[in-house]
A and B are shown apart, each in its own frame.
Chain A
Amino acid sequence: MLNYAFFPGCLISRRYPQIELATRKVMDRFGVKLINMNGASCCPDPIGIKSINSKAWMLVSARNLCIAEEMKKDIMTVCNGCFLTLKTTNFILKKNSALRQEINGFLAEVDKEFKGIIRVKHMSEILHKDLGIKRIKELIKHRLSNLDVAVHHGCHLVMPNDMLAIDNPERPYILDELVEVTGAKSAQYLHKNMCCGYGTSTNSKETSLEITKLKLFQMQRASVDCITLMCPSCFTQFDMGQIQIKRIFKESFDIPVIHYSQLLGLALGFLPKELGTHLNLVKVEPVLEKLGMLASNGG
């Protein structure tokens, strides 16, 4: 049986519990056991914290990796940001022995030692590679036919590619295949692999939303029913972002944003409420209606 040290990250566990809920439900359905990492902290944030002090960023990340090493488990992340932080530091520290020695000198202060014995995996990689499309297909109960989905893979699922190495950064396909196995269609749209804009929101909310707006405009032109993604930062940018765009730019898109764990959950036969889709800000009812799942929503 597959089991992983589960690293939900700050945003998912403390702002989007519905994503954690759907993730746990879906992985449980596949018999994947997720084990809590006691004592773990923020990954930390590869944009904010790394920008302030790269050394502190690497040290705190290394400590989180040590916790998984003590559990003798590979890590599963859902968040692209946590994936970027944990996988790149794991990669660098495994490769660079001089740096590893230096970092271990500091980690000794908290009785930790980085050994380099575990791997960091993203949920999409576990679904696509470890479980496989065939296995997922076997468990699909409710095909999401006629649903056109805008896949947004999120930059830090694929870049820097030399270290993350799970998909093609110029033409990612893992998440598209994961969408299509549910019976839905992954729509083509312009600027598909462009950033969501979240990364610059701490500095300029307006510029970040301009980027989001460009993507939403292209998704709308492609007449998609909803957006799906894995990263909670991208989720924020598209879901809460649409509310902010309405307020700041007076433009409405009303494209529901459904986290991939929720989308897969629907196809696996869970009720919308069991996946917390009612907590997403842009109303998902049009999607549920199209899928004939509204009656079973139950509020």
Chain B
Amino acid sequence: MTVCNQCGTCTGSCPAARFSDSFNPRKIIRGIVLGSDDELVRGNPIWMCTTCHFCSERCPQGIDVSEGIIALRNLAAQEGNVPEDIKNEVVNLLSAGVTVLPSPMIEKRRDKLGLPSLPRVDLEQVRTLLRVAGLDRHPKGDK
């Protein structure tokens, strides 16, 4: 990160920055270098990234900006700073092993289309792995 020369290729390539005044990957990297991680972790802008990865692909200094933002998000999650929709994804993963829950409507539709029934998910194994990684301690993830 310290090799960043603030050229702004990341921000110029960023679809989210084009439409959001609060999100600027160049400034995020600057923030990390200057040690303002705490502020970044508490704020909402890090959640604006679409994870398209163009910033990392194009950085002339080879900085993986996208992974840097993911690392900040991991820290933010420990503080409970997570968008509601992503919290719901975690709840679904913990309760069903999938992030999109099956619905009677879709099961009926699958049946009508002649598709095989959904394969069984080994939920216990998934839960065990999420537990050893500490994901079951996530706020709202305890359900």
Name A residues whose Cβ lies closer than 8 Å to a Cβ of B: 10-11, 13-15, 17-18, 20-21, 24, 36-42, 44-56, 59-60, 63, 106-107, 109-110, 112, 155-156, 159-161, 169-170, 194-195, 197-204, 207-208, 210-211, 214, 276, 279
Contacts and interface: CB of A to CB of B under 8 A. Distances in A.
Nearest to A191: B15
B83 A202 contact: yes
B70 A54 contact: yes
B63 interface: no
B130 interface: yes
Contacts of B129: 56, 59-60, 63, 106-107, 109-110
Contact of A49 (B20, B89, B116, B132): B89
Which 5 A-B pairs rank lowest in CB-CB distance, beginning with the nearest?
Answer: A199-B50, A56-B133, A195-B52, A159-B53, A202-B85
Nearest to B112: A17
Contact of A53 (B44, B113, B133): B133
Interface residues of B, number: 60
Contacts of B57: 159-161, 169-170
A48 B19 contact: no
Nearest to A210: B19
A10 B113 contact: no
Interface in B77-99: 77, 82-83, 85-86, 89-90, 93, 97-99
Contacts of A208: 50
Contact of A211 (B18, B54, B114): B18
Given A42-B99, A204-B48, A211-B16, A109 B115 contact: no
Contacts of B89: 45, 48-49, 202
Given A41-B98, A51-B70, A51-B86, 10 more contacts: A13-B118, A20-B110, A38-B119, A39-B120, A48-B85, A59-B129, A63-B126, A109-B132, A195-B52, A276-B113
B3 interface: no
Contacts of A107: 129
Contact of A21 (B44, B54, B113, B135): B113
B51 interface: yes
A45 B92 CA distance: 12
Contacts of B98: 10, 14, 41-42
Contacts of A13: 110, 118
B35 interface: no
B52 A17 contact: no
Contacts of B53: 155-156, 159-160
Nearest to A209: B19
A155 B20 CA distance: 20
Given A42-B97, A53-B74, A203 B52 contact: no
A257 to B, nearest CB: 18
Nearest to B124: A110
A21 B93 CA distance: 25
B90 A15 contact: no
B100 interface: yes
Contact of A56 (B19, B114, B130): B130
Interface string B45-64: 00111111110110000001
Most chain B CB neighbours (cut-off 10 Å) among A40, A52, A53, A60: A52
Contacts of B74: 51-54
A54 B98 CA distance: 17
Contacts of B77: 51-53
Given A51-B74, A109-B129, A279 B51 contact: no
Contacts of A54: 70-71, 74
Contacts of B20: 204, 207
A110 B86 CA distance: 26
